[in-house]
Structure 1
Amino acid sequence: MSKKYIISSEVEELDWEELLQEDQELMVQAQEISKNAYAPYSDFQVGAAVRLKSGLILQSSNQENVSFPVGVCAERLVLGYAGANYPLDPVMKIAIVAKRKGEDSWASVSPCGMCRQAINETELRFNKLMEILILKADHKILKVQGIQALLPFKFDDLNS
């Protein structure tokens, strides 16, 4: 017998002015670091910034490689750096932005599947949901509490 699942997600859309000052700062850090993207193949510059529980902000941009699977997304790069260098300081928030090289306006973007799974792993590691802030092309910000809303069938356990 077939079974139907209904999946719903809660995503909040905010204007810039509605963001907390600390969240505006995180978004600006993501925007600034996106300028350092090494994206000669896609010309798509992505920036990600995280705020750790200690208040420390870390940031990264995407780094491409001519051998396409070797490149690293901004989100995974910053989460990996945070985990390696601050293993006891949970990631509380991540801000993600993107734009095409040479364009003034921001593009709407959301984390790719691998980045979503990396966010999930970070949440599992610290047993804490991460707040995800995503800048849209219309300058509004999507705010998501935890990766479940973006990755409903996330891979959590090797034994299930």
Structure 2
Amino acid sequence: MTEIDLKAKARDAMANAYSPYSRFKVGAAILTEAGNVFTGCNVENISYGLSICAERNAIVHAVAVEGPGMKLKEIVVTNHNENGDSGACSPCGACRQFMIEFSSPSTQVTYPGESGDVVTTVKKLLPESFRF
């Protein structure tokens, strides 16, 4: 883990999640290669396809600030399920593909697993990503 407490930043972002339909709050914090930290939370919409995940929210913010050459160094995801089920949840497929777009194969990803945090790489999360 870096000197920056990305997990705490992800938890802080998670507190702002808008999830009245799933009651599943997610927060993400990313560290870019430039050394900047960006956060995001999930924002649901009654038309569920218009919802945005925390990971993509944070990445979009980073691109808006750093530009299209932004590269991810590390991603940390947290969540809280208000329904009381397990908090274990890996990034969804759309987020995995979005992460790949701005990562190197070794970009570190941390998310809640069944037995604690899972620490892996984007390459292991999506070994056969879509590429032109």
Quickly name the TM-score band, shorter chain normalised.
Answer: 0.7 to 0.9
- Tell me how far apart the structure 2 counterparts of residues 21 and 83 of structure 1 sit (CA, whole Å): 21
Moved over 3 A (4+): none
After TM superposition, give the deviation of residue 89 of structure 1 in Å.
Answer: 4.2
Residue pairs, 1:3-152, within 5 angstroms: 20=1, 22=3, 25-87=5-67, 88-101=69-82, 107-123=87-103, 127=104, 129-136=106-113, 138=115, 140-145=116-121, 147-152=122-127
CA distance in 2 between counterparts of 1:89 and 1:72 reads 20
RMSD: 2.1
Contact kept in structure 2, 1:91 and 1:122, CA below 8 Å: yes
The structure with the larger Rg is 1
Give ranges in structure 2 of 5+ residues lacking alignment. none
Deviates more, 1:92-101 or 1:49-58: 49-58
TM-score, normalising length: structure 1: 0.73
Do the aligned residues in 1 keep the contact of 2:70 with 2:102 (CA within 8 Å)? no
Higher RCO (Cα < 8 Å, 6 or more apart):
1
Identity score, percent: 29
SS in 2 for 1:55: coil
Q: What displacement does 1:85 show?
A: 1.4
Q: Which has the higher strand share?
A: 2
Alpha carbons of 1:85 and 1:131: their partners in 2 closer, same or farther (altered >3 Å)? same
Structure 1 unmatched ranges of 5 or more? 1-19
TM-score, with structure 2 as normaliser: 0.88
Aligned pairs, number: 131
Separation in structure 2 between the aligned mates of residue 47 and residue 153 of structure 1, nearest angstrom: 26
Cα deviation, residue 109, structure 1: 1.0
SS in 1 for 2:106: coil
Q: What is the deviation of 1:128? A: 6.0
The 2-side partners of 1:58 and 1:44 are apart by: 21
